[in-house]
Amino acid sequence: MGLKITLKPGERLIVGGAVVTNGAARCSLMIENRVPILREKEILSPEAAHSPARRIYFAVQLMYIDADRLAEHHSAYWRQVREFLEAAPSALGIIERVSNAILVGDYYQALKLAKKLIAYEEEILARAS
């Protein structure tokens, strides 16, 4: 049995690197093989990657959907992680969990953990202001 995805009108998703946009009516899709899938709410555009944690999320997102350039995305990730940890060493625990998921090739889990890193960054910034 595949994965059933129901899309709202106009909702976008990425399936195996292809951007798919739903038409005017609600629809359901069955994804019958194993392929990277990101729903619109999980997709971060390059323009929205405006903070260190979001740039980390974006690098992981690219690892997940663009396996052809995996080495390039890994390099970007580790560069972003070094910069982030220099500014916020208290984030090491979250970064370790994201990195461990990446090292075992579980990029979707790494994305979910990177969302927690974004929330942590927002919390730090809120406390600072």
Residue 93: predicted pLDDT: 97
pLDDT digits (tens, 9 = 90+) for 96-122: 999 999 999 999 999 999 999 999 999
pLDDT digits (tens, 9 = 90+) for 62-103: 999 999 999 999 999 999 999 999 999 999 999 999 999 999
* Alpha helices for the chain (secondary structure H): 52-65, 70-87, 92-103, 107-128
Q: Judge whether 16 and 41 are in contact, CB under 8 Å.
A: no
Nearest to 117 by CA among 63, 49, 65, 38: 49
pLDDT digits (tens, 9 = 90+) for 21-58: 999 999 999 999 999 999 999 999 999 999 999 999 99
In angstroms, the Cα distances linking 114 to 5, 27, 42, 55, 102 are 23, 29, 11, 10, 11
Residue 128: predicted pLDDT: 87
Which backbone phi and psi does 50 adopt, to 5 degrees?
-100, 5
- Sequence spans of domains, the chain: 3-42, 46-128
Structure tokens at 101: 């998921």
Q: What is the reported pTM?
A: 0.93
Structure tokens at 40: 């619109």
